[in-house]
């Protein structure tokens, strides 16, 4: 429900979504527009007396709330507040993941008038191994028309408002990837039509625009950069009633064309941007349509295509492809970028009124938003008041003075003050010398810290499988919000390791999940995850009883993790207590300081760490945790050593690969040279344990044996998973 009071806006120049009306009075009652009349008549009418707020809008233009027809919400409500600040009252997100998070964002945005409303395509439909599944292997994908209907029905069941498909062979990203062929794209578009959902195709070039038109999609998003779209394709789009969402603000930034970043010099924009968004706008390079620039890619071609489309009568929708977020430095920024998009549409030949239509009535029509996009009696009072005449000078839209969502006034000044008093901006994401992003939002990972990404990459992949052993929201968010960070492990450099490990990380994760469940059921109410990395158990396990989960890792990893989870990943009934400490320092002291009670039984999880410690450091760790272990405590350990790099298979693989391969990274970091039997080693530290081998776990879950640990193959390595109980009482603590 909107605000239960009446507002009257007098003397406005009104653009009602289609036409310009002069000196008009708009009456809003309980969230809806109830009258649009000449001001002189309104003043004399009965409603005049009931208005709780009367605004003299002389010298201003009143617009329908703006609709950005192409964004990515990036898992955070923050972006919807940013959008609303700039008068964007509805965003159409064209790819968000996972579905339950998207659903939550849409539901939340539907009810909160301090956020832009959200419509979403949910998960994008793409080719197997194509863009973006190549870097997000957990995404469902298609390798032919047969399953198109199922995919669209699944999207509909998940609550998608629009179907988005990718037609992109990765040419702008230095890759040659499979993409949906026209038969498959047509099957997706048909299924969307049957489901009553509009379909939008992401295109990369002239050829994929043709595929999109052949497929019969409702709308095409992006425009070619290598050449203008030939007139014959434009004519076809008109004849067949297609829409285009050119995303000029994104195409301009992607080409490195001057202009887009100038928004930062306009106080009307910059003055309302939080610091992270401002630094993304001035210096960010993430999330662009082109990551491998080429002289052939010319923004002038994008403008020319847009000009041709408009001149021929193809309806255009203003969309930005904004995909920044705190910690993700995309220079196309939610809310602000729409004002650049409007300006660029005018540069491409639209009049200011036509550009405004592209951000109001036209997207409302394309996306079936019949309650908005215009100012008319009965429609939502999503309104923007800007100073000046935006119907003749499009840049006047930047001078936002008031924003109402469902008749509720948004306090832009309070939002600005909140942003200004927040923590200082994080620097933009960085890259290691090999070109792999290892930093997000200023949290830069050390080499050993970045190994947490290897596990996250495979957990993200596992999370997308229909037969998954778990779903890991942290790993998925790393992939979605900071996908570049995973590149070393999920891209070609990690292929050898991925092949060798097979499903090992998933099997290991599930083994320890089940063990933790059992340990907590048996009475451990404290869990300590040593070298926690991007571990998501505090967020995703269905705990049998309330637990406190202590996560120990070094500052780089925990700061990185914080950037990923904040505002994106909710806890699952546990109390999570991060403990920043090196395991070679006084971590028991740090643990106690954070509330750990050595008198209570504890479940110790030692996963993915022993191999990074020397024998002496490993013994020190086991001795110290033993001293903190009350009777009935439990332990689970993954035990591997450098011997894994001495097998014939690994030696051959290392010799055959470049130094930049991630296998070499691991070889340089693994330090455990111990030859002691792991069971004996645990026994010496006071634990009675049993072991499981990866091959047994694989058989238990019907998965192939991880090739690196397949005892049937000659020259493979051994890694052991142990779980044990305390058999001695704690020593001096
Ligand atoms: N246990 C986590 C998992 O399975 O997802 C992370 C495993 S990751 C392969 C290794 C982790 O060990 C990284 O997060 C790294 O920061 C941490 N690590 C390595 N040496 C460490 C040390 N001396 N002190 C604290 N953490 C350390």
Q: Is 532 close to ligand 1, i.e. is its CB under 6 Å away? A: yes
Going by C-beta distance under 8 Å and a sequence separation of 6 or more, which residues neighbour residue 523?
601, 632
- Give the Å distance between the CA of 680 and the centre of ligand 1: 24
Q: Which atom of ligand 1 is nearest to the CA of 456?
A: 5
Per-residue pLDDT for 305 more than 90? yes
Q: Is 609 close to ligand 1, i.e. is its CB under 6 Å away? A: yes
> Bridge partners of 54?
8
- Give the Å distance between the CA of 584 and the centre of ligand 1: 12
Look up the pTM and report it: 0.70
Q: Tell me: the pLDDT tens digits for 358-417?
A: 999 999 999 999 999 999 999 999 999 999 999 999 999 999 999 999 999 999 999 998
- Give the Å distance between the CA of 446 and the centre of ligand 1: 11
Give, for ligand 1, the residue of 452, 459, 497, 580 to mutate: max count of ligand atoms closer than 8 Å to Cβ.
452
Please work out, in degrees rounded to the nearest 5, the angle formed at the alpha carbon of residue 44 by the alpha carbons of 39 and 46. 110
- Give the Å distance between the CA of 666 and the centre of ligand 1: 12
Per-residue confidence (pLDDT) for residue 2, from 0 to 100 = 43
- Helix pair 248-255, 336-347: axis angle to 10 deg: 90
Q: Is 640 close to ligand 1, i.e. is its CB under 6 Å away? A: no
- Give the Å distance between the CA of 21 and the centre of ligand 1: 64
- Give the Å distance between the CA of 626 and the centre of ligand 1: 19
Give, for ligand 1, the residue of 455, 461, 604, 612 to mutate: max count of ligand atoms closer than 8 Å to Cβ.
612
Distances (CA, A) of 507 to 136, 197, 455: 20, 39, 12
Q: Is 585 close to ligand 1, i.e. is its CB under 6 Å away? A: no
Q: Is 101 close to ligand 1, i.e. is its CB under 6 Å away? A: no
Q: Is 448 close to ligand 1, i.e. is its CB under 6 Å away? A: yes
Mean pLDDT of 283-310: 94
Per domain, the residue ranges of the chain are 430-498, 504-726
- Give the Å distance between the CA of 553 and the centre of ligand 1: 6
Q: Which atom of ligand 1 is nearest to the CA of 529?
A: 1
Q: What is the dihedral of CA 359, 360, 362, 365, to 10 degrees?
A: 140
Mean pLDDT of 486-510: 84
- Give the Å distance between the CA of 554 and the centre of ligand 1: 8
The string of DSSP codes covering 130-196 is -TTTTT-TTS--BSSGGGHHHHHHHHHHTT-SSEEEEE--SGGGT-------HHHHHHHHHHHHHTT
Residue scoring higher pLDDT (299 or 76): 299
Q: Is 453 close to ligand 1, i.e. is its CB under 6 Å away? A: no
SS3 670: coil
- Give the Å distance between the CA of 453 and the centre of ligand 1: 10
Strand segments, DSSP code E, in 415-460 are: 439-440, 443-444
Per-residue pLDDT for 433 more than 60? no
The Cα–Cα gap between 262 and 302 comes to: 19
Per-residue pLDDT for 4 more than 70? no
Q: Is 472 close to ligand 1, i.e. is its CB under 6 Å away? A: no
Q: What is the dihedral of CA 136, 140, 141, 145, to 10 degrees?
A: -170
Neighbours of 41 (CB within 10 A): 12
Which of 220-224, 474-478, 715-719 has the least mean pLDDT? Answer: 715-719
Mean pLDDT of 119-143: 88
Indicate which residue's Cα is closest to atom 5 of ligand 1: 535
Tell me which residue of 62, 79, 84 sits closest to 7, measured CA to CA: 62
Q: Is 455 close to ligand 1, i.e. is its CB under 6 Å away? A: yes
SS3 414: helix
Per-residue pLDDT for 428 more than 50? no
Give, for ligand 1, the residue of 506, 609, 625, 668 to mutate: max count of ligand atoms closer than 8 Å to Cβ.
609
Q: Is 519 close to ligand 1, i.e. is its CB under 6 Å away? A: no
Q: Which atom of ligand 1 is nearest to the CA of 508?
A: 4
Q: Tell me: the pLDDT tens digits for 13-52?
A: 999 999 999 999 999 999 999 999 998 887 666 666 788 8
The Cα–Cα gap between 625 and 530 comes to: 10
Q: Tell me: the pLDDT tens digits for 537-588?
A: 999 999 999 999 999 999 999 998 988 888 778 777 789 999 999 999 999 9
Per-residue confidence (pLDDT) for residue 569, from 0 to 100 = 81
Q: Which atom of ligand 1 is nearest to the CA of 452?
A: 8
Prior bond of 76 cis (ω within 30°): no
- Give the Å distance between the CA of 535 and the centre of ligand 1: 10
Q: Which atom of ligand 1 is nearest to the CA of 530?
A: 1
The Cα–Cα gap between 461 and 594 comes to: 33
- Give the Å distance between the CA of 609 and the centre of ligand 1: 5
Q: Tell me: the pLDDT tens digits for 174-185?
A: 888 999 999 999
Per-residue confidence (pLDDT) for residue 83, from 0 to 100 = 98
Mean pLDDT of 221-235: 98
Q: In the 8-state DSSP scheme, what is residue 128? A: T
- Element of type H or E holding 99: helix 99-111
Per-residue confidence (pLDDT) for residue 443, from 0 to 100 = 54
Going by C-beta distance under 8 Å and a sequence separation of 6 or more, which residues neighbour residue 454?
489, 494, 497, 505, 662, 666
Distances (CA, A) of 334 to 143, 273, 324, 505: 33, 10, 7, 36
Give, for ligand 1, the residue of 507, 527, 531, 541 to mutate: max count of ligand atoms closer than 8 Å to Cβ.
531
Per-residue pLDDT for 683 more than 70? yes
Per-residue pLDDT for 518 more than 70? yes
Per-residue pLDDT for 732 more than 70? no
Q: Is 607 close to ligand 1, i.e. is its CB under 6 Å away? A: yes
Q: Is 608 close to ligand 1, i.e. is its CB under 6 Å away? A: yes
Per-residue confidence (pLDDT) for residue 666, from 0 to 100 = 81
Mean pLDDT of all residues belonging to the chain: 90
Give, for ligand 1, the residue of 533, 582, 625 to mutate: max count of ligand atoms closer than 8 Å to Cβ.
533
Q: Which atom of ligand 1 is nearest to the CA of 534?
A: 5
The Cα–Cα gap between 711 and 708 comes to: 9
SS3 319: coil
Per-residue confidence (pLDDT) for residue 188, from 0 to 100 = 98
Q: Is 345 close to ligand 1, i.e. is its CB under 6 Å away? A: no
Q: 728 falls in which pLDDT band (50, 70, 90)? A: low
Indicate which residue's Cα is closest to atom 27 of ligand 1: 531
Which of 209-223, 226-240, 410-424, 586-600 has the least mean pLDDT? Answer: 410-424
Distances (CA, A) of 615 to 220, 621, 674: 59, 10, 5
Q: Are 505 and 592 in contact (CB under 8 A)?
A: no
Superfamily covering domain 504-726: Vaccinia Virus protein VP39 (3.40.50.150)
Per-residue pLDDT for 429 more than 90? no
Q: Is 374 close to ligand 1, i.e. is its CB under 6 Å away? A: no
Per-residue pLDDT for 103 more than 70? yes
Q: Is 533 close to ligand 1, i.e. is its CB under 6 Å away? A: yes
Going by C-beta distance under 8 Å and a sequence separation of 6 or more, which residues neighbour residue 536?
459, 472, 473, 474, 475, 569
Q: Is 661 close to ligand 1, i.e. is its CB under 6 Å away? A: no
- Give the Å distance between the CA of 612 and the centre of ligand 1: 8
Q: Which atom of ligand 1 is nearest to the CA of 608?
A: 7
Q: Which two tokens stand for residue 678?
A: 């792991």
Indicate which residue's Cα is closest to atom 17 of ligand 1: 531
Per-residue pLDDT for 646 more than 90? no
Indicate which residue's Cα is closest to atom 14 of ligand 1: 533
Q: Is 298 close to ligand 1, i.e. is its CB under 6 Å away? A: no
């Amino acid at each position: 429900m909107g605000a239960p009071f009446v507002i009257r806006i007098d003397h406005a120049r009104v653009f009602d979504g289609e036409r310009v009306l002069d000196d008009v009075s708009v009456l809003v009652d309980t969230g809806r527009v109830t009258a649009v009349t000449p001001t002189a008549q309104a003043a004399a009418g009965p409603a005049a007396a009931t208005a709780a707020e009367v605004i003299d809008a002389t010298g201003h233009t009143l617009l329908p709330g703006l609709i950005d027809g192409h964004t990515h919400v990036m898992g955070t409500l923050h972006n919807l507040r940013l959008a609303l600040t700039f008068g964007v009252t509805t965003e159409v997100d064209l790819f968000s993941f996972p579905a339950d998070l998207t659903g939550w964002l849409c539901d939340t945005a539907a009810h909160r008038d301090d956020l832009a409303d959200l419509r979403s395509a949910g998960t994008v439909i793409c080719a197997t191994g194509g863009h973006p599944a190549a870097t997000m292997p957990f995404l469902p994908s298609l390798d032919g028309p047969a399953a198109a209907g199922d995919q669209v029905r699944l999207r509909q069941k998940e609550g998608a408002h629009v179907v988005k498909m990718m037609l992109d062979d990765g040419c702008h990203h230095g890759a040659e990837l499979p993409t949906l062929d026209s038969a498959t794209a047509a099957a997706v578009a048909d299924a969307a039509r049957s489901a009553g959902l509009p379909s939008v195709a992401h295109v990369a070039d002239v050829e994929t625009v043709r595929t999109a038109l052949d497929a019969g999609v409702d709308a095409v998003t992006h425009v070619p950069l290598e050449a203008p779209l030939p007139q014959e394709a434009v004519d076809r789009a008109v004849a067949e009633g297609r829409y285009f969402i050119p995303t000029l603000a994104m195409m301009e930034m992607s080409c490195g064309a001057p202009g887009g970043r100038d928004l930062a010099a306009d106080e009307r924009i910059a003055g309302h941007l939080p610091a992270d968004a401002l630094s993304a706008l001035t210096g960010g390079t993430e999330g662009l349509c082109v990551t491998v620039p080429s002289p052939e890619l010319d923004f002038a071609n994008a403008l020319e295509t847009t000009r041709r489309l408009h001149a021929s009568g193809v309806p255009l929708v203003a969309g930005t492809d904004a995909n920044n977020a705190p910690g993700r430095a995309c220079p196309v920024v939610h809310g602000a970028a729409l004002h650049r998009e409007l300006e660029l549409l005018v540069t491409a030949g639209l009049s200011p009124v036509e550009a405004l239509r592209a951000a109001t009535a036209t997207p409302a029509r394309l996306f079936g938003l019949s309650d908005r996009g215009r100012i008319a009696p009965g429609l939502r009072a999503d309104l923007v008041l800007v100073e000046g005449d935006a119907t003749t000078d499009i840049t006047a839209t930047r001078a936002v003075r008031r924003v109402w969502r469902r008749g509720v006034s948004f306090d832009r000044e309070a939002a600005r003050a909140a942003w200004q008093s927040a923590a200082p901006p994080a620097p933009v994401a960085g890259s290691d010398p090999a070109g792999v992003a290892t930093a997000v939002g200023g949290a830069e990972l050390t080499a050993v810290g970045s190994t947490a990404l290897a596990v996250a990459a495979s957990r993200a992949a596992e999370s997308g499988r229909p037969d998954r052993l778990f779903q890991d929201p942290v790993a998925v968010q790393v992939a979605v919000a900071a996908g570049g960070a995973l590149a070393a492990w999920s891209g070609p450099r990690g292929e050898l390791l991925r092949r060798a490990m097979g499903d090992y990380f998933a099997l290991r994760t599930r083994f320890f999940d089940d063990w933790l469940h059992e340990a907590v059921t048996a009475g451990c109410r404290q869990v300590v995850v040593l070298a926690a990395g991007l571990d998501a158990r505090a967020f995703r396990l269905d705990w049998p009883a309330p637990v406190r989960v202590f996560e120990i890792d070094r500052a780089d990893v925990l700061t990185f993790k914080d950037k990923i989870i904040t505002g994106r990943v909710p806890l699952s009934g546990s109390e999570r207590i991060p403990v920043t400490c090196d395991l070679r320092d006084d971590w028991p002291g740090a643990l106690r300081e954070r509330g750990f009670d050595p008198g209570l039984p504890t479940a110790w999880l030692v996963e993915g760490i022993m191999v990074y410690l020397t024998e002496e450091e490993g013994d020190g760790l086991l001795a110290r945790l033993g001293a903190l272990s009350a009777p009935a405590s439990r332990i689970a350990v993954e035990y591997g050593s450098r011997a894994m790099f001495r097998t014939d298979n690994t030696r051959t693989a290392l010799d055959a690969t470049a130094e930049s391969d991630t296998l070499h990274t691991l070889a340089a970091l693994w330090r455990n040279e111990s030859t002691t039997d792991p069971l004996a080693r645990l026994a010496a530290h006071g634990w009675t344990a049993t072991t499981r081998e990866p091959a047994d776990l694989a058989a238990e879950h019907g998965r192939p044996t991880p090739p690196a640990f397949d005892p049937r193959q000659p020259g493979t390595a051994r890694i052991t998973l142990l779980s044990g109980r305390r058999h001695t009482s704690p020593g001096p603590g």
